[in-house]
């Protein structure tokens, strides 16, 4: 992603903040060696921060567990309403890169972006590792 950002989307290097799409605490993955709970996107965002020199902030929380498995596009859009909340301030005019591991319909990214924009973010750009499709 860092190479892609540098060579394909260099305009992203001028953004102010990196934000990971959060997981609810009940959905976190467990490291098999340490037993620590983690969001699989966090290591990616930390590494991207080191290569891009864009700071990471964690203003978003996921308000409830919500599986998207077996949900179509319309259902995913419905269940992401109010799924993410922004805590904290300091986003006024900030351009944010929202990072996720995969986008299927984009409903999680859209919900997170809407929440950040409602708190004053200037621009929110989604950046994902992969794309999946739902029919």
Q: Domains of the chain, with CATH numbers? A: 2-131 (3.40.50.2020)
Q: What is the DSSP letter of 105?
A: S
Instruction: Going residue by residue through the chain, which has 135 residues, state the pLDDT in tens, using 9 for 90 and above.
Output: 777 788 788 888 899 999 999 999 999 989 899 999 989 899 999 999 999 999 999 999 999 999 888 888 889 889 999 999 999 788 889 999 999 987 777 889 999 999 999 999 999 999 987 666 565
pTM exceeds 0.75? yes
- Beta-carbon contacts of 43 under 8 Å, excluding residues fewer than 6 positions away, are none
Pairwise CA distance, residues 17 & 97, whole Å: 6
How many other C-beta atoms are found inside a 10 Å radius of the C-beta of residue 58? Answer: 14
CB 103 within 8 A of CB 51: no
Paired tokens of 70:
């077996």
């Amino acid at each position: 992603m860092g190479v892609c950002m540098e060579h394909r989307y260099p305009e992203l290097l001028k953004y102010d903040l990196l934000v990971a799409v959060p997981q609810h605490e009940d959905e976190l993955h467990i490291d098999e060696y340490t037993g620590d709970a983690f969001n699989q996107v966090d290591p990616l965002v930390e590494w991207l921060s080191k290569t891009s020199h864009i700071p990471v902030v964690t203003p978003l929380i996921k308000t409830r567990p919500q599986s998207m498995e077996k949900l179509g596009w319309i259902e995913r859009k419905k269940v992401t309403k109010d799924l993410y909340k922004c805590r904290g301030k300091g986003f006024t005019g900030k351009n944010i890169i929202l990072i996720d591991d995969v986008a299927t319909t984009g409903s999680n990214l859209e919900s997170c972006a809407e929440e950040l924009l409602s708190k004053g973010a200037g621009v929110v750009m989604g950046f994902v590792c992969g794309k999946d499709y739902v029919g």
